[in-house]
């Protein structure tokens, strides 16, 4: 009888139903190619090929990437090259012009963008309103920042709700990227956008670097809109360069080339409370290191490894 009991116990242990599976992580880590090749400043990293970029992302320990200007436009080709390296696309920038162009024109471009992202595995779309934007112009980033009229705000919020419905058709999430040099840069402007859009149709792309560069309380924004945050960009700030940019009335791109941004753990931002707040709120989605620098001054692989180690040590991810 003892032998029978032992056999029964052994069988029970081997039963697949009793085997515990490791739960899928709710937070996934990605890195943007902007540290290797810059879409706004093609001369930065112009000599770095796509294959080097994605290979070094994987080598540094990331599993996701956003889309850069050197990435293959054919989804099948891109998917094949990413699969070889254990990477997937998590999001890609979309320039909306809802304040300056007919909605139908913006929507047509959005649908093309949406369908490409869906084909390469992304389920998040990051839009930034570029109507009147000066982020790519040689103009003082603070002095000449655009301010939307009441009518432009109406066109923006109503248009984003419509685009959000188009994203939902593919079960994708539309997120809005507040950005330096645009009409949605400050905490007050983020509030206005969020308060006048449908929570079911639009989420916030929370970017640490842009908030701190703008002079906002990044933790206050995080806590206020935590339930609407659908994507996270992690970039650090070098405050001395920010102060110089303000004093000398630099453009956004001049500040970037001068090193105003860096990867988490290399600047002045304390990311521990950011990580803790996101985890406490049970945030599900991507944390994306997105720190545009001149790769000739800041070796992309070196900084990617530095960022990955910091996130593991400080955020436990």
d(C-alpha 278, C-alpha 27), whole Å? 10
Residue 263 contacts residue 292 (beta carbons within 8 Å): no
For residue 39, the model assigns a pLDDT of 85
Average pLDDT over residues 304-310: 98
In the chain, % of residues over pLDDT 90: 89
Q: pLDDT: is 12 or 104 the higher one?
A: 104
Average pLDDT over residues 176-200: 98
Q: pLDDT: is 97 or 22 the higher one?
A: 97
For 30-47, the pLDDT digits (tens) are: 999 999 999 888 888 999
Domains of the chain and CATH, by start: 28-315 (3.20.20.150)
Residue 209 contacts residue 237 (beta carbons within 8 Å): yes
Q: Number of helices (H) and strands (E), helices first, in the chain?
A: 12, 11
Edge-to-edge strands, sheet with 203-207: 88-91, 64-66, 27-31, 285-289, 229-234, 203-207, 173-177, 124-129, 93-96
d(C-alpha 270, C-alpha 265), whole Å? 8
46-61: burial string, b at 16+ Cβ within 10 Å, e else: eebebebbbbbbbebe
Residue 178: how many CA atoms within 13 Å on its side-chain side? 31
Does 106 have pLDDT greater than 70?
A: yes
DSSP state of 18: G
Average pLDDT over residues 57-86: 97
d(C-alpha 91, C-alpha 172), whole Å? 10
Instruction: Please report how the helices 300-315 and 272-280 are oriented relative to each other, as an axis angle in degrees rounded to 10.
Output: 60
Does 9 have pLDDT greater than 80?
A: no
For residue 23, the model assigns a pLDDT of 59
DSSP state of 20: P
Does 267 have pLDDT greater than 90?
A: yes
For residue 41, the model assigns a pLDDT of 87
State whether residue 49 is helix, strand or coil: coil
When pLDDT is cut at 50, 70 and 90, the band that residue 20 belongs to is: low
- State the burial class of residue 111 (Cβ atoms within 10 Å of its Cβ: 0-12, 13-18, 19+): middle
Alpha helices in the chain (DSSP H): 2-14, 50-60, 75-83, 103-119, 150-168, 187-195, 208-214, 218-224, 239-247, 252-257, 272-280, 300-315
Does 278 have pLDDT greater than 70?
A: yes
d(C-alpha 206, C-alpha 146), whole Å? 20
For residue 170, the model assigns a pLDDT of 98
For residue 13, the model assigns a pLDDT of 47
């Amino acid at each position: 009888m003892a032998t029978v009991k032992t056999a029964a116990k052994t069988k029970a242990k081997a039963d697949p139903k009793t085997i515990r599976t490791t739960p899928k992580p709710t937070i996934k880590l990605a890195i943007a190619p902007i540290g290797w090749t810059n879409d706004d400043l093609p001369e930065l990293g112009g000599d770095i090929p796509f294959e080097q970029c994605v290979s070094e992302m994987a080598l540094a320990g990331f599993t996701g990437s956003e889309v850069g200007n050197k990435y293959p436009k054919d989804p099948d080709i891109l998917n094949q090259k990413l699969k070889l390296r254990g990477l997937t696309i998590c999001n890609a920038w979309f320039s909306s012009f809802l304040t300056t162009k007919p909605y139908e024109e913006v929507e047509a471009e959005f649908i093309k963008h949406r369908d490409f992202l869906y084909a390469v595995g992304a389920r998040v779309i990051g839009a930034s309103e570029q109507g009147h934007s000066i982020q790519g112009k040689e103009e003082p980033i603070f002095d000449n920042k655009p301010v939307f009229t009441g009518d432009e705000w109406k066109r923006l919020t109503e248009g984003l709700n419509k685009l959000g419905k188009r994203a939902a058709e593919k079960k994708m999430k539309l997120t809005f990227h507040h950005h330096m040099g645009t009409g949605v840069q400050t905490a007050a402007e983020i509030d206005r956008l969020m308060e006048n859009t449908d929570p079911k149709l639009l989420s916030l792309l929370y970017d640490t670097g842009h908030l701190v560069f703008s002079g906002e309380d990044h933790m206050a924004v995080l806590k206020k809109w935590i339930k609407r945050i659908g994507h996270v960009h992690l970039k650090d700030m070098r405050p001395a360069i920010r102060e110089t940019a303000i004093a000398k009335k630099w453009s956004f791109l001049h500040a970037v080339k001068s090193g105003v941004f860096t990867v988490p753990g290399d600047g002045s931002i304390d990311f521990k409370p950011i990580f803790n707040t996101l985890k406490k709120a049970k945030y599900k989605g991507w944390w994306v290191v997105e720190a545009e620098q001149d790769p000739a001054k800041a070796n992309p692989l070196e900084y990617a490894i530095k960022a990955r180690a910091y996130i593991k040590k400080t955020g436990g991810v």
